[in-house]
A and B are shown apart, each in its own frame.
Chain A
Amino acid sequence: MWLKMPIDPQRDHIRGPSNAPLQLVEYGDFQCPYCGRAYYEVQEVERRLRGQLQYVFRHFPLSEIHPLAVPAAETSEAAAAQGRFWEMYSMLYENQEALERPYLLRYARALGLDIAAVDAALDNHLYLPRIREDFNSGVRSGVNGTPCFFINGRRHDGAWDADSLLKTLERARQQQQPTQRATPRHL
């Protein structure tokens, strides 16, 4: 299965250099305990591939089993509107056990955000269409649970601890190299 919606710097939350040879896209849910574990694994992967990896986070809230996942995702988008997505992303994953509204506003306050704007965004579900768009792009790309990772566009099946992700990323890098080497010969 392949990522159907390409990474778009205009809309996606992206960390890492735009010319990085490796791309890791995660579809995640802020209330999912597995995603909470993956959060630390991804940090380790980013640390070990510094400068060579772009990490992209997209929303995939399983709202029926995780009723606080959507408001958490909405809060992260409200933070993104104020240029603080990644800070809120960390805040939410590091405080997964407390995602009720008063906590969400407390995190927004701790990050120095305009609270009235966050509050209004939550009331009016301002960012819900965008979250749905992420979700639908995930479904159409074959996301089959959370977290779900795509490495250079291809769905990563199996374990997602840092070592397993690094192994697949390394393989993706090797698969890229022959074509890169072949180009000069064809010129």
Chain B
Amino acid sequence: MAARVMQRHVGMTNPVAGERAPEFSLPKDAENHVLRRSELAGKPAVLVFYPADWSPVCGDQLAIYNELRDELGRHNAQLVGISVDGVWCHRAFREHRKFWFPLLSDFEPKGEVARRYGVYRAADGIAERALFVLRPDGVIAWRYVSPVNVNPGADGILDALEQLHAEAA
């Protein structure tokens, strides 16, 4: 277990709340368009790292976020999913589940962005089930890493966004 934990942290940074969210530039579709972290600036952003497309638990987790378009819109918040799956896999998954938000491919170099955010499970080759809420200025307001087999739901995200809203008011 100790070896596994150490291995997880090799080459990883581990940004926490109050620190600047690491930059990234990842493919957001199969047409080679990319989304940069800097493009999310100006509005709150929710980054959802998850282990894999198609696993039933992920489906449930993202399916709930998919229902929260209005709620997130009220907070002016942008939502992106991030996993190590490739762009074609993401495309099929998005179309099948009718997701309105983009899924980014942390595919090559594999898991590099998850590592930067301190949420890569090197032993398994997948991202943790991790949530980050970013302030409009790109600073991490809240982060949560769920046990990988537990779907964290949306309550923590909405709490963090409400907190941001209260601070801004």
Residues of A within 8 A of B (CB): 1, 62-65, 135-136, 139-146, 157
Contact = CB atoms under 8 A, between A and B. Distances in A.
Given A64-B66, A139-B154, 15 more contacts: A62-B64, A62-B66, A62-B67, A63-B67, A65-B63, A140-B155, A140-B158, A142-B153, A143-B64, A144-B61, A144-B150, A144-B152, A144-B153, A145-B57, A157-B150
Contacts of B100: 64
B98 interface: yes
20 contacts: A1-B153, A1-B155, A62-B63, A62-B66, A63-B67, A64-B99, A65-B63, A65-B97, A139-B68, A139-B154, A139-B158, A141-B155, A142-B153, A143-B64, A144-B61, A144-B150, A144-B153, A145-B60, A145-B63, A145-B64
Nearest to B151: A144
Contacts of A145: 57, 60-61, 63-64, 151
A65 B153 contact: no
Interface residues of B, number: 20
A65 B66 CA distance: 9
Contacts of B99: 64
A144 B66 contact: no
Nearest to A4: B155
Given A63-B67, A64-B66, A144-B60, A139 B98 contact: no
B63 A139 contact: no
Of A1, A139, A143, A157, most buried by chain B (CB within 10 Å of CB) is A139
Contacts of A135: 67
Nearest to A61: B67
Interface of B: 57, 60-61, 63-64, 66-68, 71, 97-100, 150-155, 158
Nearest to B98: A64
A146 B151 CA distance: 12
A144 B157 CA distance: 13
A64 B67 contact: yes
Contacts of A62: 63-64, 66-67
Contacts of B155: 1, 139-142
Contacts of A144: 60-61, 64, 150-153
A135 B71 CA distance: 12
A144 B131 CA distance: 14
Interface pairs A-B: 7 shortest CB-CB = A145-B60, A144-B153, A144-B151, A142-B153, A64-B98, A64-B66, A142-B155
A157 B60 CA distance: 14
B160 to A, nearest CB: 13
B159 to A, nearest CB: 9
Given A64-B63, A64-B66, A64-B67, A143 B98 contact: no
Nearest to B61: A144
A65 B152 contact: no
